[in-house]
A and B are shown apart, each in its own frame.
Chain A
Amino acid sequence: MTTAEPPVISVEELKTYYEEDGFIRSSPPVKAVDGVSLDIHEGETIGLVGESGCGKTTLGRTILGLNNATDGTVTAAGTDVTELSGRERRRWQRRVGMVFQDPQESLNERMTVGEIIKEPLKTHDWPFLRVAVEDVDAEVKGSDVTPCRPDRAADITVRLRSDGTKVNVREGLPLTAEDLDVSVSRDGTTTVSVAVKRHKSELRRERAFELLEQVGLTEDHFYRYPHQFSGGQRQRIGIARALALEPDFLVLDEPVSALDVSVQARIINLLEDLQDELGLTYLFIAHDLSVVRHIADRVAVMYLGNIVELGPTREVYENPAHPYTVSLLSAIPGSGSPWEGGRVTLRGTPPSPRDPPAGCPFATRCPAKIRPDEWEFPERTWRALDELRVLFRTRARSERSATAALKSLVGLDAAGESLTETVEELLAEHDLSPAAQSVIEEALEHARAGDDAAAAQRLREAFGSRCDEEHPSGYDEGPGRTSACLRHEPKYESVAEVIAAREDE
């Protein structure tokens, strides 16, 4: 795929926030997708990786129209699909399909496999049977057919020739010219009447059989219930359903995560085959990096609602630019891992999407974080200080149980002392300069007074850096590669060097 062609789907600064659905909004919204821009080109497989809570599923769902976008656009064929609603949105959903993660859960157990696959067809009254008349301006009549608009592809083409009318049915429809009755009348205007000799429900059944075969199942399975199939087979059914309406674009939300390794391989092969056969474009969402490496042409790495790195798969895996990608790759266990260096273990947990850090979202855990020049600490000390900041931030955000609050009110609370203890333990083996010590004392004062947020703020003022202030935009790291890290600016050491140096310490 060349970048010269316009992308099939263009996502720009997309934001999807989950608000609390009540009459009074008491907590800040969950910023699931927080400003994502992405172009998807025809025929490619773009992998979307990240850990839980990074927003990759929400991104896929917003593109599909299952979630409402809060801001930004998703443009497909010139229209912003986030603005669509009702019938228009359903029209869009004909052209995208989605394969879900859990094969046990994504199929309605009470319906037969045939009914499940036919359902999208029934919903949209497939086939549409668009009739186009070539060469002549003619009216199209018929109860089962619709006249084809000039910008759409026709299902049935009628050519009016001197030696008779020629009827052509496109491939992909379980219909032949013999099933149609075409008659032409010319008084004043030319009218072409098309009658379909077969019932639409019959055609839908045929299509379902066809789909079953395409995904590697048989006609018999049409009559059975999902319950009677294995996980891999159910996922095939899910794929068949997603392909029913002949979409061009599929969103695959962790399609193989719930499957065993051997079954996984078969489904991945099937997906690749289908892509070749039907010319599909895939958005492949996964947390398993090895799978993504195998199937994706380009990969986008997400963290806390942002895309932190984007590029051709091989290059990103062999030469990751962003510190998060480095940690992610190094965390893959086993010799099948694409990473050859040492493991860079991240500390702590991702921040809550309700309260993302101002500045770089990865700042709280980054192994390559830019440190302020004023202080000269070894990396271990910096890490301890980072933990201290996280500690205060978490305390600031957490709710205290009723008993704990009561205790502190009455003064039974040993929290003040325990806090000092905790902090002392944390900083025990670190040599802090008196200036640093006094900053920490100030922060402790705030915390003892109950204002953990102020404590965190104090520490940030003293020990924070650009990473805490600025939200990095994507830097160009090569053809088709972007990475959102401040270190890519020429004045800083490169990510790889810094990580290596700090790991050695």
Chain B
Amino acid sequence: MARAHETTSGTLLPTNSPAAVWAAIGAVLFAAQAGAFFGFVVGVLGDLLTVTPLPGAAFVTAVEAAVEQIPTLLSRDVIPNDGYWNGSRWVGTFLGLRPSLAWGIRAALVYLYAFAFAGWGILGYRLYRREYRTADWTPRDDMVDRFRGHKWGIFGLVVVFMFVVMAVFAPVLGPTTVDENMRNSYSNEITYWDSDAEAVQTTLVGEANLASQSRGDNPERVLPMEYDDFGRFHPFGTLPSGQDLFTFIVSGSRLSLVIGLLSVGLSAGIAASLALVAAYYKGRTDLGLVLASDSVMAMPQLLLLIMLTTVLSGTWLAEIYSGGFVLALIFAGTGWTYMWRSLRGPALQVAERQWIDAAQSFGQRPLTIMRKHMLPYITGYLLIYGSMTLGGAIISIAGLSYLGLGIAPPTPEWGRAINLGQDYVATGSWHISLIPGLLITLVVTGFNALGDGVRDAIDPQSDATTEDGAAGRGGGA
């Protein structure tokens, strides 16, 4: 279907099929980090599948082990940062650099890779739009163009993107791993340079943690961007338990993102379906749904949460994502009403349009009408409210974890970090609560900004007036 290729693409390569080149680049990019991507997928699904009888925990562990074998370009093995000083130089780190630099390089490369991948995607879209698409203009084009010029929206998009990258590549980004530093800290050893003994020593990670706690002022703290006494680099400092805060944060981000997406996804699905049904059938159906949603809204969400979390603790449901799954279900089950309300208005407006009548006139089925003729017009609103609700979900999860109600310890979660540091806020170890707090604010602002950008981009006013250009063509009947 590709047309004969003219020079409009401006490709440097004199090629007949830019699409093939683009695809090849994509394949290379993906292959480089395939292990990490698969690791993410397995990590997310694994927790879910572990509790199901079929396929079972053993299967999941086996898959995880297999995935770890997949060679990845930017991994801890290729760019290690946990080496030790042997008196004259660094051993075991990337290119013999200091751990901080090695870590910095790895983290920077990960983000560089992510942006390169994103750039590749955008390039592909532009290529498709310019060369391969048969229609030379679609209604989406206007929206995309408007979003491109929206600075605040782009800011939001960038922040959200970086957050997602953090979640996907969490195991690679931290200076150490959750397994080594937190879960099995007494089964792992580290080597370090003992400045007193002037020799290389080994010790258990757990012991090292005990000696690196942040509990107040100097010297009982490890601040951000500092090394502890064992030659380990801590970009965000350490927790009161001595564990590395940065690793805590990045692995916590995964949970926040997954639970957030799950709850908002479910919410949006329920809300959109019900909104379409209410708008299509109107009358009694609509009235009934309004009553139902009002009743659900009247339920106290927090109380319900506490009650269900307590009741379900110990069951298999509470095992998934350390209680995060239950959270997601409760959020979805009680939160769909707000999104439904917001979507109901636009859905009702769409239902009044004449093309719905037209589709009914030649006997189109209701479900198809809802999908084809109504849904595209509320997706914009879905994105707006969805992105803002996602921000809200992240705050809620953090808040609940702070209160000790959400994710069960010791699973890392941003809210818990704040909780752990709350006693030290006024002391020298201020970083423990402040950093996760700032990050939450930043991420949620990012989501809201993204929502703003999308809202302005889909502005239905502009859609309607483009033909007469705001009465530019004389208006009239």
Contact = CB atoms under 8 A, between A and B. Distances in A.
Contact of A123 (B353, B365, B477): B365
B139 A227 contact: yes
A117 to B, nearest CB: 11
Contacts of B137: 224-225, 228
B199 interface: no
B287 interface: yes
Given A227-B467, A260-B477, A98 B361 contact: yes
Contacts of A124: 362-363
B410 to A, nearest CB: 49
Interface stretch (A38-46, A89-97, A461-469): A89-97
Given A109-B139, A112-B135, A223-B135, A119 B359 contact: yes
Interface in B396-440: none
Name the interface size band of chain B.
Answer: 20 to 34
A244 B376 CA distance: 24
A238 B359 CA distance: 11
B353 A90 contact: no
Interface string A103-121: 0111111111000000110
Contacts of B89: none
Given A93-B362, A123-B364, A225-B138, A101 B354 contact: yes
Contacts of A23: 284, 287
Contact of A21 (B282, B358, B376, B467): B282
B179 interface: no
B466 interface: yes
B360 interface: yes
Nearest to A19: B283
A: contact size bracket: 35 or more
Nearest to A94: B363
Interface in A157-181: none
Contacts of A120: 362-364
Contacts of B365: 90, 123
A115 B246 CA distance: 52
A244 B359 CA distance: 13
Interface in B372-394: 372-373, 376-377
A66 B361 contact: yes
Interface in A385-438: none
A304 interface: no
Nearest to B476: A260
A227 B467 CA distance: 7
A103 to B, nearest CB: 9
Q: Most chain-B CB neighbours within 10 Å: which of A92, A97, A110?
A: A110
B424 to A, nearest CB: 55
A79 to B, nearest CB: 16
Contacts of A96: 361
Interface string A483-497: 000000000000000
Would you call the interface of chain B mostly helix, strand, loop, or mixed?
A: helix
B363 A108 contact: no
A105 B139 contact: no
A395 to B, nearest CB: 31
A15 interface: no
Interface in A1-49: 21-23
B201 interface: no
B358 A94 contact: no
A100 interface: yes
Given A94-B362, A123-B368, A21 B139 contact: no
B354 A102 contact: yes
Nearest to B466: A227
A241 interface: yes
A360 interface: no
Interface string A206-234: 00000000000000000111011000000
B361 A64 contact: yes
Contact of B362 (A22, A97, A260): A97
Interface in B331-370: 353-355, 357-365, 368
Nearest to B365: A123
Contacts of B467: 104, 227
Nearest to B377: A110
B134 interface: yes
A120 B359 CA distance: 8
Contacts of A64: 361
Contact of A105 (B138, B354, B363, B373): B354
- Which residue, B135, B354, B368, has most C-beta atoms of chain A within 10 A? B354
A101 B357 CA distance: 11
Contacts of A107: 355, 358
Nearest to A103: B354
A306 to B, nearest CB: 24
A108 B362 contact: no
B332 to A, nearest CB: 28
Nearest to B140: A110
A159 B283 CA distance: 54
B139 A90 contact: no
B463 interface: yes
B139 A22 contact: no
Interface in A56-111: 64, 66, 89-94, 96-98, 100-102, 104-111
A498 B284 CA distance: 50
Interface string A241-261: 110110000000000001010
Given A110-B139, A123-B368, A21 B284 contact: yes
Interface string B465-477: 0110000000001
Nearest to B361: A98
A100 B357 contact: yes
A108 B355 contact: yes
B139 A108 contact: no
B358 A241 contact: yes
Nearest to A90: B363
B18 to A, nearest CB: 21
Nearest to B353: A105
Contacts of A102: 354
Contacts of B358: 98, 100, 106-107, 238, 241
Contacts of A244: 362
Contacts of B463: 109
A21 B283 contact: yes
B122 to A, nearest CB: 23
B363 A66 contact: no
Interface string B284-328: 100100000000000000000000000000000000000000000
A245 B134 contact: no
A98 B360 CA distance: 10
A227 B362 CA distance: 22
B477 A106 contact: no
A233 B327 CA distance: 54
A124 B353 CA distance: 23
B222 to A, nearest CB: 56
Contacts of A227: 139, 466-467
Contact of B354 (A100, A228, A241, A242): A100
Contacts of A238: 358
A224 B135 contact: yes
Given A225-B137, A227-B466, A106 B355 contact: yes
B369 to A, nearest CB: 10
B470 to A, nearest CB: 15
A123 B372 CA distance: 12
Contacts of B477: 258, 260
Interface of A: 21-23, 64, 66, 89-94, 96-98, 100-102, 104-112, 119-120, 123-124, 223-225, 227-228, 238, 241-242, 244-245, 258, 260
4 tightest A-B CB contacts, nearest first: A21-B283, A90-B363, A93-B363, A105-B354
14 contacts: A21-B284, A66-B360, A89-B363, A90-B363, A98-B361, A98-B362, A106-B354, A107-B358, A110-B376, A112-B135, A120-B362, A120-B363, A123-B368, A242-B362
Given A93-B361, A245-B362, 15 more contacts: A66-B360, A89-B363, A94-B363, A106-B355, A110-B376, A119-B359, A119-B362, A119-B372, A120-B364, A123-B365, A123-B368, A124-B363, A224-B137, A227-B139, A227-B466
